[in-house]
Amino acid sequence: MTQGGLKWRVSGGSGDGIDSTSQNFAKALMRAGLHVFTHRHYPSRIRGGHTYVEVRAQSTEVRSRGDGFNFLLALGDSFARNPDDEAYYGDEKLKPLYEHFDDLNEGGIIVYDTGVISEEEAQAVGLDEHAEENNWHVYPIDLRSIAREYGRDVMRNTAGVGVTAALVGIDTSYFEELIQEVMPGEMAEANIKTLQAAYEHAQELDQGHDIEVPEGEHDGEQALMSGSDAIAYASLDAGCRFISGYPMTPWTSAFTVMSQHLPNFGGISEQVEDEIAAAALALGASHAGVKSMSGSSGGGFALMSEPLGLAEMTETPVVLLEAMRAGPSTGMPTKSEQADLEFVLYTSQGDSCRVVFAPGNIQEAYEQTRQAFEYAYDYHLPAIIVYDQKLGGEMRNVPVDFFDREPDPDPGAVLTEDELAEAAHDAAGKFKRYAHDAEDGVNPRSVPGQKGGRFLATGNESMEVGHIAESPENRVIQMDRRMEKLDVIRADLDEGDSSNQTYHGPADAEYGILTWGSQQDTVFEAVDRLEARGSDVKALGVSDLMPYPEDEVRSFLESVEECLVVEMNATAQFRGLTQKELGQFGPRMTSLLKYDGEPFEPGEIVDGFEATIEDQEHPGGNMKIVPAAGD
């Protein structure tokens, strides 16, 4: 068994069923007791484009997709067209094979479907030379014929799974079980036959590789979850019953999950004319008493800037999701990036008064989404979950009992009619919704339709009952009151048992790696490897972006000699935020940046650390290093 477990990649045309195949593959391995992690590549086209999914499986927790992969199931693109038009994009049909040569590990396995890609074609794109050079084990198999014999052509992906099972030693019973669960009888039967035939075929082969799936066992039942699922489920559990949105990759995933299930949860989903409306509807529903959310990605979120500010000023609670993708503008819409940090923190005129969390993995996505609703509704401000294509789309196994939580029907800081009767009103009976002397800056609110709760919510600066006001004295009191909420939230976050910031590695390490959001677990895997190689290093994954966890990050930076800051953007935004918030430590931080649309691999971080902190040369690849400030 090679060190990294199985890193299986299935590639084909985007109409070739890659998605369901890989998902079932991952689920089967999960049921077999392994930890799994998937990574999906999205081409920015609908169909016929070349795509792939990776499934990494090992007996211990998987933190990232790892470096490269060690098993390629190349289905070839059976939807490819215009074979003559190779000038620009090369031969689409063969891409699922040759485009993967760069990342396949030494000693890796290739299975390709000779029913689509002939052996001659494979030679022509240099398979032999590459295989020899890298000590690959290549198995050309006519998957299509197997599929055709026992079922239909399209089942060649099932045949590929059968071959995989035989080559790396997976019990096919898990696949068979799953096939029976998801397909109607006849189709299931044909698929199972195909699977078995392919399995047997491959067993006969002369196998020279040393890649094998390890044994594993889970403590309890596992669920295969994506970040988008976790965010949506957390919203439902948080008592959210209204969502409004407009589709946009990658936010669409969470929106779709919500839309599909909200009616069954007694709630309402609205797909509307644009993102300005989407955000505005969420405010309207929230104002009327329903826990509400909206969200978007990039350009769609940009359109929410103005309503976001309205939420801050009117103190209308709302949770917004921002699913980042590579920018600026339309950028690379199906690629990962973390370049919307400053945008999300500061967009909309005036001083920001919002809560922003960037979860570091799927469990954190669930936890922090619930927190977002709590803070939004307890403190009457917008709370934003900023994540990315990577976290939203990747799937991991999570213990089922992690989700065994109480739902939260609490509407937050709201008064009942009885309480309203006792509350402060002006001389004419208007409720002092925005009273100056609020505890912790928050006045519990009334909801339209309640007796005794009349007030005016306005985007203008206002007096206690909501009337527009421009007096400097009132202004300062109201601004200070609103801003105080962030201090209180910071204190509350700092006081909790557990921090949203996640630590990894020895507390007394000499060096540090700082990161935020979705890169966290990859950094942690890198730290383990660095430690294994003798480096004295620890890491901190930051999730709280506003209010910023000043004390925690300061302590971390104070505790290390030097620190590498890892993030996926070109201008070192999180490092900048840290410098802004702390006003120092610039000279102690070096940035390792990546902005080519692909998340870091742990090996890249290892290289980056060695190249900078350990002062070796440039790590190569598409990374950029920004040296310490003030040096």
Ligand X SMILES: Cc1ncc(C[n+]2csc(CCOP(=O)(O)OP(=O)(O)O)c2C)c(N)n1
Q: Tell me which of 101, 112, 233, 301 binds its own copies, using CB under 8 A.
A: 301
Neighbours of 133 (CB within 10 A): 11
Distances (CA, A) of 340 to 328, 336, 417, 422, 564: 9, 11, 42, 45, 20
Nearer to another protein, 42 or 150 (CB): 42
Q: Is residue 46 a contact residue for ligand SF4 (CB under 6 A)? A: yes
Residues 253-282, interacting with ligand X (CB under 6 A): 275
Segment lying near another protein (by CB under 8 A), choices 75-83, 385-393, 545-553, 620-628: 75-83
Residue 206 CB, nearest approach to its own copies (Å): 37
In the β-sheet with 355-357, what is the strand arrangement from edge to edge? Answer: 268-271, 242-245, 292-296, 318-324, 382-388, 355-357, 544-546
Number of residues that bind its own copies (CB under 8 A): 85
Residue 309 DSSP SS3: helix
Residue 233's binding partner out of another protein, ligand X, its own copies, none, with CB under 5 to 8 Å set by partner kind: another protein
Contacts of 264 (CB under 8 A, 6+ apart): none
Residue 46's binding partner out of ligand SF4, its own copies, ligand X, none, with CB under 5 to 8 Å set by partner kind: ligand SF4
Residue 257 CB, nearest approach to ligand SF4 (Å): 21
Residue 249 CB, nearest approach to ligand X (Å): 7
Query: Nearest-CA neighbor of 441 among 402, 403, 485?
Result: 485
Nearer to its own copies, 486 or 539 (CB): 486
Instruction: Compute the distance between CA of residue 553 and CA of residue 585 in angstroms, rounded to an integer.
Output: 10
Nearer to its own copies, 96 or 239 (CB): 96
Neighbours of 595 (CB within 10 A): 21
Q: Is residue 584 a contact residue for its own copies (CB under 8 A)? A: yes
Nearer to its own copies, 407 or 630 (CB): 630
Residue 514 CB, nearest approach to another protein (Å): 32
Nearer to another protein, 131 or 290 (CB): 290
CA Rg, the chain, in Å?
A: 27
Residues 262-281, interacting with another protein (CB under 8 A): 263-278, 280-281
Q: Is residue 582 a contact residue for its own copies (CB under 8 A)? A: yes
Residues 32-61, interacting with another protein (CB under 8 A): 44-49
Longest dimension (CA), the chain: 91
Segment lying near ligand X (by CB under 6 A), choices 71-79, 244-252, 446-454, 490-498: 244-252
Residue 461 CB, nearest approach to its own copies (Å): 5
Residue 461 CB, nearest approach to ligand SF4 (Å): 20
Residues 190-249, interacting with another protein (CB under 8 A): 221-225, 229, 233-234, 236-237, 239, 241-242, 244-249
Site string for its own copies, 434-473 (x = CB under 8 A): ------------------------xxxx-----xx-x-xx
The type of residue at 133 is E
Residue 177 CB, nearest approach to another protein (Å): 12
Do 57 and 73 touch, CB atoms closer than 8 A?
Answer: no
Instruction: Compute the distance between CA of residue 184 and CA of residue 177 in angstroms, rounded to an integer.
Output: 12
Distances (CA, A) of 80 to 16, 51, 102, 145, 580: 11, 12, 22, 19, 50
Query: Nearest-CA neighbor of 189 among 208, 176, 205, 171?
Result: 176
Do 324 and 388 touch, CB atoms closer than 8 A?
Answer: yes
Residues in the chain: 631
DSSP per position, 202-271:
HHTS-------PPP---SS-EEEEEHHHHHHHHHHHTT--EEEE---TTTHHHHHHHHHHGGGGT-EEEE
Instruction: Compute the distance between CA of residue 475 and CA of residue 121 in angstroms, rounded to an integer.
Output: 73
Q: Is residue 287 a contact residue for another protein (CB under 8 A)? A: yes
Q: Is residue 385 a contact residue for ligand X (CB under 6 A)? A: no
Q: Is residue 334 a contact residue for its own copies (CB under 8 A)? A: yes
Nearer to another protein, 154 or 456 (CB): 456
Segment lying near its own copies (by CB under 8 A), choices 181-189, 287-295, 519-527, 591-599: 591-599
Binding footprint of ligand X on the chain (CB under 6 A)? 246-248, 275, 299-300, 303
Binding footprint of ligand SF4 on the chain (CB under 6 A)? 46-47
